[in-house]
A and B are shown apart, each in its own frame.
Chain A
């Protein structure tokens, strides 16, 4: 079952479950339970196969799983289960009035939590004990930006249209449009705990338009990272002048970690330019037209990579001019 091919894995699983069911029906079964336990512990095996093996072990040694799981805080397959178990331990300690034990448990849970709900839960628990948890750094969220727009893009042409912020050498130069109206870069900050920036708050409501967001992040070293992003309606991203992501989709929502792509962050300053398209309005005028985006840099398992973030204004002043924009994806 150690295969990424889910179809093949399901055929193996069907056979495995038949064998297990047949053996369990016999009180003198010959299931190699200790081998199953070893298989569960070994991270080099497929996560779903390990979980299936654990299911079989649970039937014969129900104490094995509950004992093992809380120790698997860095396990690719069982991390969420382990964090949930540790959170539960923290709640139990809190209930019995053991604040130090609760605090240790919640700190441990927060340090290993990577799913938004568990990060939120652990941070909230720490906060209830008077301790702050930095979700932004923990997940590598980029929360401070300079934004400019709207650039008119009727008929959902925005994704392919090129506006001055994509080509200008000065990254934050004001843009005078053909109607003589000048657009300025404005500071924008995430409006929720997970880095979602609401462009309507910065630029006002609009339909069928494009906005750009710009920031600079400092990496302590050359490092590989995953760029994870999402937008309503769609987004394209340039890193140090190179287009690293773009997806021509419309009428969608900003959802955490919706898109991901591997990137290289160089030591020192890295310039990030994001283009966010806004689609047409719903046929019902009463339905809102959201215009939001979210960006983060993290490791492959979702933990934030080390970065120094600069406030929008500071990054604006200190960043170097754009190099010539290269085409991308």
Chain B
């Protein structure tokens, strides 16, 4: 498949309808989880029949040991699961591993040397923190050492880039954590660090640089790029998506095809870790702790701080976990477990609850539920209804969870520091028929 998957909310159906024409040749693959936070990068699955209850011994389809250290969540395409890892001195030995989706059996395992390992957090980050991304033909893995590798889904190395050699060694206290995204024929990598920051678009077929934009001053960012559909993008000169990057104190949008800067919003905090999410025609960007969520209408030009920020709210800001939006509910769990639900259209408080434990992994949604994964290995599942907090289950495994899990084909894939767990029955689920705030999945050439 040459495009990437994207999802649309009902308010954006008019945009989605126009894209369907473009997407038809490459549509489907809705059950894949091709990159960071799945289809659309919002952490929302459109499947039903997802696991509700499990433990270390119950409802576990398989559990496979991983060789070293990693905080990158897994990705799933068809019958394959891909996960990255690192070990060795300074974590400079890098792994790209492919497992069979139905059994967890290792299908292939590539190892590479990283160029420039950095400092990292003891548990919340490593050289293998960025989540890989796939288009079903190739797997693209970016590491905190400043290296990018492209392999086939069969494990053959296609190309590699040592960005640290080309543009300067990465400097980072907590390791580069930004997960790359695919846009048409481009792999887009956000390289914000203490040295010379930049965003780079790489031709995914050849590994050649398509464009590079320097980002001086954007040193405290661990967020991932987000692709946002643009309402009313009709002219051929205007891309149908905006590439949005969180950086120190700013939110910037670029034309993903060319790297041309489109707009900027001031008001983020200095350190940005959560990745923005998109729904309801709004982009929700948060930085913390104690920073604001900014709900921004895409499509502006220049400094749109005063014109396109629909609402701003301080309440509930996490430091690490990204937020999730499910229809009218915008939900944030902060690192200490305070769960806040804001009205997605106005930013007003709907309700607040206390979840057990501390949080690094970002929440996921699907099947009318939202999943919150704490650092002790406990997953709290709540109803995704916006009007009140309703806990459906709590599920503990005997290993901590720092990586954001993945959902695919009715199963939940949880990466712990030592294992990859597959939770739930292997049967392929039916598509959900219930009304849902986010619409179908499609891909765009």
Q: Residues of A with Cβ closer than 8 Å to B? A: 5-7, 9-11, 13-14, 17, 48, 51, 80-81, 249-253, 255, 258, 282-284, 286
- Does A284 lie within 8 Å of B88, measured CB to CB? no
In the bound complex, CA of A283 to CA of B272 (Å): 13
Closest beta carbon of chain A to B401's beta carbon, Å: 26
- Chain B residue nearest to A256 (CB atoms) is B119
A255 contacts which chain B residues (CB < 8 A)? 119, 173
- Does B147 lie within 8 Å of A6, measured CB to CB? yes
Chain B 96-139 interface 0/1 with A at a Cβ cutoff of 8 Å (1 = within):
00000000000000111111000100000000000000000000
B119 contacts which chain A residues (CB < 8 A)? 255
- Chain A residue nearest to B92 (CB atoms) is A48
Known interface pairs A17-B111, A252-B219, A284-B290. Does A7 touch B269 (Cβ–Cβ under 8 Å)? no
- Chain B residue nearest to A9 (CB atoms) is B113
Q: Which of A6, A48, A251, A286 contacts B219 (CB 8 A)?
A: A251
B89 contacts which chain A residues (CB < 8 A)? 51, 80-81
A80 contacts which chain B residues (CB < 8 A)? 89
From B24-32, B157-165, B293-301, give the one contacting chain A.
B157-165
In the bound complex, CA of A250 to CA of B147 (Å): 25
Q: Which of B147, B157, B165, B195 contacts A11 (CB 8 A)?
A: B157
Closest beta carbon of chain A to B107's beta carbon, Å: 14
- Does B269 lie within 8 Å of A14, measured CB to CB? no
A252 contacts which chain B residues (CB < 8 A)? 171, 194, 219
The reply on B270 being an interface residue by CB < 8 A is: yes
Closest beta carbon of chain A to B78's beta carbon, Å: 24
- Does B111 lie within 8 Å of A13, measured CB to CB? yes
Known interface pairs A7-B162, A80-B89, A284-B290. Does A251 touch B115 (Cβ–Cβ under 8 Å)? no
B147 contacts which chain A residues (CB < 8 A)? 6
A81 contacts which chain B residues (CB < 8 A)? 89
Closest beta carbon of chain A to B176's beta carbon, Å: 15
- Does A7 lie within 8 Å of B165, measured CB to CB? yes
A–B complex contacts, Cβ < 8 Å, 22 sampled: A7-B162, A9-B113, A10-B112, A10-B113, A10-B157, A10-B160, A11-B160, A13-B112, A14-B157, A48-B92, A250-B219, A251-B219, A252-B194, A253-B173, A255-B119, A255-B173, A282-B269, A282-B270, A283-B269, A283-B270, A284-B269, A284-B290
- Chain A residue nearest to B173 (CB atoms) is A253
In the bound complex, CA of A10 to CA of B119 (Å): 22
The reply on B220 being an interface residue by CB < 8 A is: yes
Closest beta carbon of chain A to B202's beta carbon, Å: 14
- Chain B residue nearest to A280 (CB atoms) is B270
B92 contacts which chain A residues (CB < 8 A)? 48
- Chain A residue nearest to B89 (CB atoms) is A80
Known interface pairs A251-B219, A253-B173. Does A14 touch B113 (Cβ–Cβ under 8 Å)? no
Cβ < 8 Å to A, chain B residues 278-333 = 290
Closest beta carbon of chain A to B291's beta carbon, Å: 8
Closest beta carbon of chain B to A52's beta carbon, Å: 9
- Does B162 lie within 8 Å of A251, measured CB to CB? no
In the bound complex, CA of A297 to CA of B190 (Å): 35
Known interface pairs A6-B162, A252-B194. Does A48 touch B113 (Cβ–Cβ under 8 Å)? yes
In the bound complex, CA of A17 to CA of B115 (Å): 19
- Does A251 lie within 8 Å of B270, measured CB to CB? yes
Cβ < 8 Å to A, chain B residues 4-36 = none
B111 contacts which chain A residues (CB < 8 A)? 13, 17
- Does A6 lie within 8 Å of B115, measured CB to CB? yes
- Does B219 lie within 8 Å of A14, measured CB to CB? no
Best-buried of B88, B112, B119 by chain A (most CB within 10 Å): B112
- Chain A residue nearest to B155 (CB atoms) is A14
- Does B110 lie within 8 Å of A14, measured CB to CB? yes
Known interface pairs A13-B111, A251-B219, A252-B194. Does A7 touch B160 (Cβ–Cβ under 8 Å)? yes
B88 contacts which chain A residues (CB < 8 A)? 51
Best-buried of A5, A14, A282 by chain B (most CB within 10 Å): A14
Q: 10 smallest A-B Cβ distances: which pairs?
A: A6-B115, A10-B112, A7-B162, A14-B157, A6-B162, A252-B194, A48-B113, A6-B113, A7-B160, A10-B113
B149 contacts which chain A residues (CB < 8 A)? 10
B290 contacts which chain A residues (CB < 8 A)? 284, 286
B248 contacts which chain A residues (CB < 8 A)? 251
Q: Which of B113, B160, B171 contacts A258 (CB 8 A)?
A: B171
- Chain B residue nearest to A4 (CB atoms) is B165
In the bound complex, CA of A147 to CA of B112 (Å): 46
In the bound complex, CA of A7 to CA of B115 (Å): 9
Closest beta carbon of chain B to A235's beta carbon, Å: 14
A13 contacts which chain B residues (CB < 8 A)? 111-113
Cβ < 8 Å to A, chain B residues 320-378 = none
Chain B 218-232 interface 0/1 with A at a Cβ cutoff of 8 Å (1 = within):
011000000000000
Closest beta carbon of chain B to A216's beta carbon, Å: 31
Instruction: Give 13 A-B pairs besides A14-B110, A249-B194 with Cβ atoms closer than 8 angstroms.
Output: A5-B165, A6-B113, A6-B114, A7-B162, A9-B113, A13-B111, A251-B219, A251-B220, A251-B248, A251-B270, A252-B171, A255-B173, A283-B249
Closest beta carbon of chain B to A284's beta carbon, Å: 6
Closest beta carbon of chain A to B394's beta carbon, Å: 33
B270 contacts which chain A residues (CB < 8 A)? 251, 282-283
Cβ < 8 Å to A, chain B residues 141-164 = 147, 149, 157, 160-162
- Chain B residue nearest to A287 (CB atoms) is B270
- Chain B residue nearest to A283 (CB atoms) is B269
In the bound complex, CA of A13 to CA of B115 (Å): 14
A253 contacts which chain B residues (CB < 8 A)? 173
